[in-house]
Chain A
Amino acid sequence: MAVAARSGKKRLRSLLQGINVRKYIEARGGLFARGSIDPIFFTLLVALVVVGLAMLYSATYVYAYYYENSSTYYLKKQLFAVVLGFILMFAVSHINYRILTHVAAVAGTLVSWVLIGIALLMPDYNGTRRYIYGVPIVGQFQPSDVAKFALILTLAAILGENHDKIASKKPLQGRLAKLVNRICRRPVINESFLVIVPAGIILLVYAGLVALQSHLSGTVLMLLIGIVLLVLSEARWGWFALGGIGGGAAVFAAAKLGLLKSYMQERVTAWLDKDYDPYGKRWQINNALNAVGSGGFFGKGFSRSTMKHLYVSEPQNDMIFSIVVEELGVFGAACIILLFVLMIWRGVSIAIKSRDRYGALVVMGVVFQVGLQMILNILVATDSLPNTGISLPFFSYGGTAILVLLVEMGVVLSVSRTANVRKRL
């Protein structure tokens, strides 16, 4: 036993020597990021956080007072998460993102899959298992928030570090590959398979796990993030055609086999039939529409919403934007949407000037995630899409969500330090 243990230790030590952590870090430019953060991106970020907090308080104080006996209930918890998030954000922004590449991908994937696994073991809430309950400090916790970030890091690592293979048309040498290539008389099965197929499988596992949680909007968002990253990694269009056909067939098969759950069907019914169950399934959306419609061009003024007086249920979550429109009007809403758009543009700029593909993909993954979530949330709040639980970044209440979001922002800022956008654009 003792001999076996000793030889095992020896083997591990030699392995670690082989990796040589110091050398790895040095080769990737050191542990810390140098340069200054992009001030424009940072300003836009702070603006969104401040407006988001203000609107969260305005939308929720009635609801919080009625249900939690404290009008600042949601504001306080969110503010705590924001302060913590800013600290983490600055810390992350100082770390050289390039040393995260492999570690973050593997660790993030493992952690987020395990967390989703734990959530799947938790008691069911309204037919979904999206949360882990009883977490110290935060109380409840949504692993898919972490998983979105982990997915971005993982796909960016795989796709960014293997760009030459993605572009390569060198045929594979396996027996089956040779056969197919000979039949097609073209290198159909080439080196890009070695990157795209594992990336696709990882994406499908992520999406599949979230789907197991009965979290439809999360699943859709995962797939959209994956598609965005694949597009940006210059994957050939044929892959998207293949994915489109496969996905369409899967949805069709699921519908045929009756795998679509009844709550999904009911949501679609409630969306199509505007008179459906006005005091049940359509209560929240009808009141949200009344709120949006009552806004007018300049709105009723900050804090002057009447629909937040317990008409729009859970105004802290997905429907917060309806209160925003009621109070700030079309003008205020357009300004906020513009802030988001500017932030995405600045993110894209940072990515373009990024020193490597990995950084570029992470930054664009993050800002497009924010953009997609914003668009989907507003379309749901205006009854343009069926009501799926999708939150509005920076505005919706949710401790872990804002925490993870700010850490993501920290990564973007870290990339911006070396990208040095100011100089080049």
Chain B
Amino acid sequence: MAERRRRKKPEAGVGEITAHERMRPTSKAGARGVVLFLIVAAAALIGCVGRIANLSLIHGEEYRQKAERQQLSVTTLDASRGTIYDANMNVLAQSASVWMCFVNPSKITDKNRADVLDVLCDCLDLDRETLITELDENSKLGYYKIKGKIEYAEKTALLDRVREIRKEKHNDIDSVIFVDPDTKRYYPGGTLASNVLGFTGVDGDGLYGIESYYEKILRGTSGRIVTARDGVQFEMENAYEVTYEAQQGTDLVLTLNSELQTILRSALEDAYHETQAKKVYGIIQDTKTGAILAVSGLPDFDPNDPYTVQYPELETYFATYGTAEEKADPHVAAQYEQWKAKAIADFYFPGSVYKVFLVAGALEEGVIDENTGYHCTGTITVGPRTIKDYYTTGHGDETPCTLLVNSCNCFSVNVGLQMGTELYYKYFQGFGFTDRTGIDMSGEGTPAVNVTYHDPAVSFTTSDLASASFGQSIAVTPLQVVTAVSALGNGGKLMQPYIVSKQIDGDGNVLSYTEPVVKRQVVSEKTADTVRGWMTQVVSDGTGKNARPAGYSVAGKTGTSEKLGSGDGVYIASFAGFAPADDPRISVVIVIDEPRGDEYSGGAIAAPVAREVFEKALNYLGVEPSYSEKELQEMSVPMEDLIGGTVSTVRERLEGAGYTVRVVGDGAAVSAQVPEAGRQIPKNGVVVLYSQGYTEAEQVAVPDFTGMTVSQASKEAAAAGVNLKISGNSSGDGSFVVYKQDVDAGEMIDAGTTVAVAFRTVDGVHD
């Protein structure tokens, strides 16, 4: 073949070039071809290879890291967060399983797009426009989170819809929409213990309160899965995967008692609205152990919905009285204020409440004794300053006991000056006002010298000493005050307050238990008991009269301080004390910051709140009350069952027992009664008997009891046909009058219904 081909070699034909014309490397065209080749070869071998080598060898590390960052993915396995229980094992905070929805935007096609949007918008309640933008922006990704914290019902509905559409249209919608487990924190009590608990942020981290302080313990250790992921965030096949298991969070049991917390918070909330104060705080502490039983500071928030400002008043306050910054954004200022655990964070001037600590120190040091006398003229001069009492006429001859009962400033200054700064400071420090109490909650206020207190080693002038003697110019937190007051109630031991009683695991095994800690013996038991006796007299005879509930003895001290730098007439009213006075079980502090009414003294507005708290709390705790003769008379008794009796007989018998009786209808037998059997009725109350023939319950208008004494109110109630439930100190003189009633005047109610009225006095309670 080859031979033949060679033989048949053609002669030059049409268009064929002759041998000499052929392109050779030396010919012009051939030379141009070689040059072009050299250019192309140089571009390829030097240009392209050089560029690749530059990227891959010189800058390689940079690109390798970029690629790795893109590809390595860490998935967090959330440990379920520990539950928080109150002292009675009621759930205060709990994490529950919820779901989160994510989509694979790269799998959205023209065919399933409309359905994807419909399902997501309908089932998850999303805004269509926003969703479209989000999906468009992330259309290249394989993973995009749409919504978290989806409840079970919502998740089920979503998946059912997806399955249905998949079945009907076969449009791969189930490769676009997915759900994964997620967790959500629930606070069944809502606002109840919000200041204590704090809340969890969007990423599940604890913010404020116990959620923050015990973050590490509650959170547990979250696990991780480290994998290599592909460009659409799915796991790369054949890639490695390492799993670290999650460790569940620990549960906490608090000393906090939901019942007591409810009592405290509702009393504070009433006071907050009545006094239109900026803030109100209260704490109930176990006097002997220092355990916190209830703590609240209003305005607070709902940890289920922490970003909503719960009390619009707070926003209004910042818009009106705030600093320039707060005025610019009162909403944010209000958010931060409502989240703060104010009762442990905020400093205030304790005012006359501090006198109990001053007197205790002076007594302990022998500066005064029980019989030390002082004549009060209503003023005392310290250097260039003249200090006045509220009662400028003077209290006359006084003992340390009447110093407290009258809340005498002049005598206090006198005692303070006798002690001197060193001794004053010794007890200021001794009662724990120069340190944080060390409570296991986030956000406790930190005392600072020259800011919240004076230290003789730094600067403590006589003028400062005079003010400090009656609780001005020194700032303390409500928690410090209640802890220090507890020391006077428990024989002189300063306790470390605490709120978590034990940590338990998921099976209920106790992992750790909090033992009460005695920080120190501040004063001797004798001194403490003496001061406790005087404090009892403050409530029975002095400025603390309004703090005494029927049937219980209370020891305490009122305080009214002027807020400096906030303009004139801005006060803080407070009360601190414990009960029962002879064997204290609970200590209470109530602080009302910037009340906006005629009454602003601690004795007039804070003491009644304390009284309400003491009355309900001691009752709840099962402390046996002992009533005076007069109190017994005003006591309510359970109503007997009268139905079926003859109207005339029943009427005669009840009237004989002191009741006021009304009869509605003209039948012979009693068919219905108000109050119903078993309900409470005062001993001289009103009973309405209904007999056959009546059509509807008799309606009466509630009278306005405000300002009436007990006897006036009782008469008025009988005349109007309603019953009274008396609370507050009604045992005293005629100065005790009604200051609030639970049904508004003028409202129409069934005759015989009970209306609760509270009494207080505004005489002799100012300090």
Residues of A bordering B, CB below 8 Å: 27-29, 34-36, 62, 66, 98, 101, 161, 228, 231-234, 279, 283, 287, 289-297, 306-307, 309-313, 325, 329-330, 333-334, 337-338, 340-341, 344-345, 348, 351-358, 360, 364, 368, 371-372, 374-375, 378-379, 382, 384
Contact with B63, one of A66, A292, A334 (Cβ below 8 angstroms): A292
B510 at the A interface (CB under 8 A):
no
Residues of A within 8 Å of B36, CB to CB, are 228, 231-232, 348, 364, 368
Contact B10 A329 (CB under 8 A): no
Q: Are A293 and B67 in contact (CB under 8 A)?
A: yes
Interface pair A306/B67, CB less than 8 Å apart: yes
Residues of B within 8 A of A311 (CB): 67, 70-71, 230-231
Most buried by A among B44, B52, B236: B52
Q: B660-675 vs A: 1/0 string, CB under 8 Å?
A: 0000000000000000
Q: Do the beta carbons of A232 and B33 come within 8 Å of each other? A: yes
A278 to B28 alpha-carbon distance, docked (Å): 50
Q: Is the CB of A341 within 8 A of B44?
A: yes
CA distance A337 to B32 in the complex (A): 22
A410 to chain B, nearest CB (A): 19
> Is B25 interfacial (CB 8 A cutoff)?
yes
Residue B756, interface by CB 8 Å: no
Q: Is B33's CB under 8 angstroms from A364's CB?
A: yes
Given A62-B230, A232-B36, A375-B48, answer yes or no on A357-B23 (Cβ-Cβ < 8 Å): yes
Q: Which residue in chain B gives the minimum CB-CB distance to A383?
A: B55
Interface residue B41 (Cβ < 8 Å from any Cβ of A): yes
B48 touches A355 (CB 8 A): no
Tell me if A355 and B37 are in contact (CB < 8 A): no
Give the shortest distance, in Å, between B384 (CB) and chain A (any CB). 70
Main secondary structure of the interface of B (DSSP, over half): helix
Q: Is the CB of B48 within 8 A of A378?
A: yes
B56: which of A36, A161, A293, A384 is its contact (CB, 8 Å)? Answer: A293
Q: Which residue of A lies closest to B25 (CB)?
A: A352
B-side contacts of A62, CB under 8 Å:
230, 237
Asked if A344 contacts B63 (CB within 8 A), the reply is no
With A289-B55, A290-B70, A379-B47 as known contacts, state yes or no: A345 contacts B15, CB within 8 Å.
no
Known A-B contacts A293-B62, A344-B37, A382-B52; the reply to A231 vs B32 at CB < 8 A is: yes
* Inter-chain contact B15/A28, CB cutoff 8 Å: yes
Decide if B168 is an interface residue (CB 8 Å cutoff). no
Q: Are the CB atoms of B29 and A371 closer together than 8 Å?
A: no
- Is the CB–CB distance between A337 and B45 below 8 Å? yes
Q: Is there contact, CB below 8 Å, between A341 and B45?
A: yes
B47 touches A294 (CB 8 A): no
Docked-complex contact B16 and A338, CB < 8 angstroms: no
Q: Classify the secondary structure of A's interface with B.
A: helix
Query: A98-B15, A340-B44 known; A333 and B49 CB under 8 Å?
Result: yes
Contacts of B20 in A (CB 8 A): none
Q: Which residues of chain A are near B34, meaning CB under 8 Å?
A: 348, 352
Partner of B33, one of A279, A334, A348: A348
- In contact, B60 and A232 (Cβ under 8 angstroms): no
**Chain B residues with a Cβ under 8 A of chain A:** 2, 5, 8, 10, 13-17, 22-25, 28-30, 32-34, 36-37, 40-41, 43-45, 47-49, 51-53, 55-57, 59-60, 62-64, 66-67, 70-71, 140, 142, 228, 230-232, 234, 236-237
| B57 touching A330, Cβ below 8 Å | yes
Contacts A34-B8, A293-B64, A371-B40 given; does A378 touch B52 at CB 8 Å: yes
Give how many A-B residue pairs fall within 8 Å (CB-CB). Answer: 176
State A233–B27 Cα separation when bound (angstroms).
Answer: 12
Question: Chain B nearest CB: distance from A187 CB in Å?
Answer: 20
Residues of B contacting A371 with CB < 8 Å?
Answer: 40, 44
7 contacts between A and B (CB under 8 A): A27-B13, A28-B13, A294-B64, A295-B56, A297-B56, A311-B230, A337-B44
18 additional contacts, CB 8 Å, given A290-B63, A311-B67?
A29-B10, A66-B232, A292-B55, A293-B56, A293-B59, A293-B66, A295-B60, A306-B228, A310-B142, A313-B231, A334-B49, A344-B40, A355-B16, A368-B36, A372-B40, A375-B48, A378-B48, A382-B52
With a cutoff of 8 Å between Cβ atoms, the chain B residues found around residue A36 in the complex are 2
Q: How far is the CB of A311 from chain B (nearest CB, A)?
A: 4
Given contacts A161-B15, A352-B33, contact A337 B48 (CB under 8 A): yes
A384 touches B30 (CB 8 A): no
The residues of A that contact B55 with a CB separation of less than 8 Å are 289, 292-293, 382
Complex Cα distance A325/B236, Å?
20
Report chain A residues within 8 Å CB of B62. 293
Question: Do B44 and A101 touch (CB < 8 A)?
Answer: no
Give the residues in chain B near A293, CB-CB below 8 Å. 55-56, 59-60, 62-64, 66-67
